[in-house]
């Protein structure tokens, strides 16, 4: 069973529906015991880094999520759910993230391009796809859907995909049992379903 963590932020119905379409058995939950009993976790997120972190802390699930990930349980972060995995963000100075991954979330520096980065863009998939390869079976430059103004700045070894938007932007990251996408797989059509299926089956 896959637990989609409900902390009052994000389009949970779309994520749940897409995971079910990908073959997953899904529970949308804010219950610590359900999260502990789940096989895999999904951390969605929409909005500002600080607001999302505050909401997550209000559910008293921060330690639960950290402990389950430390045990090796697979975790997929989506959009701001990716950003929360890092230590901090320029969007909300002074707010500490989950710090499951080293690095900082910074505003996109895209000269001549509109911010937020919104719409379809193609991925450049790296060789750092990790134990759970979200991009298995996809073409070399699949198109996915983005809505964001910030992205992860971190060690290249953590980056599993980038896209070009006035420069290189981090589109996906991975480390051991953690995978995360800055784009929205649940809004990315058949490509997104394939990505989620790789997580469900990985």
The single residue of 117, 148, 151, 184 carrying the catalytic annotation is 184
Consecutive H or E run containing 125 = strand 124-125
Marked catalytic residue, from 16, 68, 88, 186? 186
The one catalytic residue in 79, 117, 151, 154 is 79
End-to-end CA distance of the chain: 13
**79 included as an active-site residue:** yes
Tally of CB atoms within 10 A around 167: 11
Alpha-carbon torsion angle 104, 109, 115, 120, nearest 10: -80
Concerning whether 91 is annotated as a catalytic residue, the answer is: no
Rounded CA separation 177/46 (Å): 23
52 among known catalytic residues:
no
Residues with catalytic function: 79, 184, 186
């Amino acid at each position: 069973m896959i637990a989609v963590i409900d902390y009052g932020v994000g389009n949970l119905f779309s994520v749940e529906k897409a995971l079910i379409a990908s073959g997953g058995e899904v529970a949308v939950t804010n219950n610590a015991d359900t999260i502990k009993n789940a096989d895999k976790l999904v951390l969605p997120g929409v909005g500002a880094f600080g607001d999302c972190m505050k909401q997550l802390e209000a559910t008293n699930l921060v330690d639960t999520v950290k402990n389950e990930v430390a045990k090796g349980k697979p975790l997929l972060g989506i959009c701001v759910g990716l950003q929360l995995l890092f230590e901090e963000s320029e969007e909300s100075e002074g707010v500490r993230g989950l710090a499951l991954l080293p690095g900082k979330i910074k505003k996109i520096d895209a000269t001549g391009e509109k911010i937020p980065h919104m719409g379809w863009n193609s991925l450049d998939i790296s060789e750092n796809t990790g134990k759970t390869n979200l991009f298995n079976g996809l073409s070399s430059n699949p198109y996915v859907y983005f809505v964001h103004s910030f992205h992860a700045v971190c060690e290249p070894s953590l980056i599993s995909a980038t896209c070009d938007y006035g420069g290189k932007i981090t589109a996906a990251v991975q480390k051991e049992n953690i995978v995360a996408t800055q784009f929205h797989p649940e809004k990315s059509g058949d490509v997104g379903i394939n990505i989620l299926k790789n997580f469900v089956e990985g």
